[in-house]
Structure 1
């Protein structure tokens, strides 16, 4: 995703949508939306409010249920990586009393019974705010036996906009103190409903993955970002500089909900004693994707990302004005045109440059093509070979020439400087220059008729002693460039770094 947010502002709906309208205008766009008052008609909206006897109600309804809470070592941030937190099993009533204790400690409720006797023991270094009841199931279509809080199901309603969707799960979320979930995405569509309290949700589209540095795809926390939203270490995560520019923020008060499409990264900040319920369901795309097609779609999507990355890497230079580079050409190199021998040394190059304007067909070259021919031959003479577009003058020259002018330059080299052309292609063509060259070949194909196109390639490859070797060099180096783009895709989108294979370039 380019700098800045290319998506429209997240839409807010003040009234409920029908299931049909939600599916057609929101869900199918894979774009978030906010729904005000979505949960305000639930019984839970009034009964679960921690500041209005809600804690007593929850303890009475489900206090005996054994729950598993997160105990974060990085509170108030709760990371998905299991190395950053412990799972603590305790009665729901104990979790409620920890919440009451937090209220009492802050002086927010003198009438709250915050007795801590017989509470589940916590580690010696436990601090208030480290505990969070996250993603605890009220409903689960696969693990019904683990749905301990199903007794709370009667206090909530499936929002009308979800219609008859087959829900994967309904989950209960509650934090005693302020809490932040680390930036992550979910593998399901998600409707997050705030029952009590307040949440701030920061959202990024999946295309923002490069700036969020996703954890390695093979890891236990593969759906999490490895970089913090605030004050990222830009020396280690340079792409994170633009992460906030690619995000949007929404505020959810009690009763509000936000639709978070699958794959959208989100960071959630919860005020103290916030209670929420979320609904997960599988998207139509994933539901209708047969497993036997997975490898095909994987290859198609990987290829599309590679092509996009190659387009980003091969961008028109803006910092270097190649017109000024010709001023630095050593005019002493101008000599006579090359003969038919295989000598690619300085003498043949000097001779080649001198007769540039003595041959009628060379004289017909327009100024920009003539200058490019001068420079390409000079580059071969000077043995210039850089590794990226910033310093790769061959790639610069090829890119800056229109396809028709490059065709004329290459034909002139093939006819009058064949050994120089051979040295350029066999010894100086970098991977990115090979990619630029083949892109220009495609443009030439589109701009010329079949007869002229065939004649051009016959003359171009006919200048080489071994035509097959020249073609192999161009294609091998083009593939080498594609592999560089592939590595970049793995890093940006999958959090995977790999070494380059041994390639003869």
Structure 2
């Protein structure tokens, strides 16, 4: 929908911000806003493709950020106006960043922090480096078993499902305090380190209370701790009462298949946990109970360009997909963008990841997720 010239311009704008060329970013974002404005005001509003609204939001965010960095005086009112235009004319991006900015600038929540400091903190921490040209994953509201099987599962296509876990008690119950009350003294395995492909990565056995205090609630942890891929619900059945195996997991060629054949894993962690790009052999429904995660998917045909490790980690890519060394991994930059999907998975959403699809996951905030694997 978006012309290549506009996509190129938004890439240049984000690149300018990354390289601290704020005057360039401000100029380019103004060009984008003018360009997108014409598209938004051509024909009936309801007929305007949402992609142009998304582009308008990206341009508004770039303008807000560059304006802040250039200004030597308090520019709160100006940034609020830019954000409001992004809210009125654009579409939601980056986990509702415009709402966070306007709230922080209009009426600071912390009297010890000036509005601009709050705004900068939000901009620096919440902005997600999306691929921009990656494909959107379709979103369906409670599809039938037949539709899910025929259009997505049988065709090995990813899809986001909404409205399928609203009946889970976990959505309203789960919090650090609840987890501590139910299982605070229980011992669980925790991955320590930014990601399992790093040399310093390791595992520790700690109590749930220690995990919460040392990693989930510690604002200055010495390292990242992740309760990842653990069959927590077999260990603590009381927590399993708060979730339910989705009906889609019972689509199987095995006539004797039952609920016990579904592997259920917990993924609890703070902001910043990373699952390096990898693939799994089974069908996967990743369900977000709390927080949000940025996810990038690659079709199996991208395998060579993802440079898998040899040996035991042959299902894991050597490429850091968000900060790629193009000299070391030259094939990666040439991957056809139609073979890449990306999505920010939010509370109450399920993501279907077909077998052998490569996926990279980074938590954007404190997160509780549950995955269901089946054959």
In the TM superposition, residue 158 of structure 1 has moved relative to its aligned partner by 1.4
Name the SS for the 2:241 alignment partner. Answer: helix
Q: Structure 1 residue aligned with 2:150, among 12, 24, 28? A: 24
Q: Structure 2 residue aligned with 1:227, among 294, 319, 322? A: 319
Aligned-partner Cα distance in 2 for 1:45–1:228: 32
Equivalent residue, structure 2, for 1:127: 222
Aligned-partner Cα distance in 1 for 2:147–2:216: 42
Q: Structure 1 residue aligned with 2:334, among 242, 248, 251? A: 242
Judge conservation of contact 2:293–2:365 (CA < 8 Å) in 1: no
In the TM superposition, residue 62 of structure 1 has moved relative to its aligned partner by 1.6
Cα deviation, 1:54-96, whole Å, max 9, x if unaligned, reads: 1111111122221100001xx2xx13x4745101011112112
Equivalent residue, structure 1, for 2:248: 161
Q: Structure 2 residue aligned with 1:42, among 168, 173, 183? A: 168
Aligned-partner Cα distance in 1 for 2:327–2:198: 26
The TM-score, its normalising length taken from structure 1, stands at 0.44
Cα deviation, 1:291-321, whole Å, max 9, x if unaligned, reads: xxxxxxxxxxxxxxxxxxxxxxxxxxxxxxx
Judge conservation of contact 1:66–1:89 (CA < 8 Å) in 2: yes
In the TM superposition, residue 148 of structure 1 has moved relative to its aligned partner by 1.5
Coordinate RMSD, CA, aligned: 2.6
Q: Structure 2 residue aligned with 1:258, among 338, 348, 351? A: 351
1:272 aligns with 2:359: no
Equivalent residue, structure 1, for 2:44: none
Equivalent residue, structure 2, for 1:66: 187
Write the mapping of 1:280-429 to structure 2, written as runs, cut at 5 A.
280-282=373-375
Aligned-partner Cα distance in 2 for 1:64–1:12: 39
Write the mapping of 1:36-115 to structure 2, written as runs, cut at 5 A.
36-48=162-174, 54-72=175-193, 75=194, 78-79=195-196, 81=197, 83-99=199-215, 101-102=217-218, 105=219
In the TM superposition, residue 163 of structure 1 has moved relative to its aligned partner by 3.8
Q: Which runs of 5+ in 2 are unaligned?
A: 1-130
Judge conservation of contact 1:229–1:244 (CA < 8 Å) in 2: no
Q: Which runs of 5+ in 1 are unaligned?
A: 49-53, 107-125, 140-146, 283-505
Judge conservation of contact 2:300–2:356 (CA < 8 Å) in 1: yes
Equivalent residue, structure 2, for 1:314: none
Aligned-partner Cα distance in 2 for 1:67–1:205: 34
Judge conservation of contact 1:69–1:88 (CA < 8 Å) in 2: yes
Judge conservation of contact 2:136–2:342 (CA < 8 Å) in 1: no
Cα deviation, 1:399-458, whole Å, max 9, x if unaligned, reads: xxxxxxxxxxxxxxxxxxxxxxxxxxxxxxxxxxxxxxxxxxxxxxxxxxxxxxxxxxxx
The TM-score, its normalising length taken from structure 2, stands at 0.58
Number of corresponding residues? 237
Aligned-partner Cα distance in 2 for 1:178–1:43: 26
Equivalent residue, structure 1, for 2:266: 172
In the TM superposition, residue 265 of structure 1 has moved relative to its aligned partner by 0.3
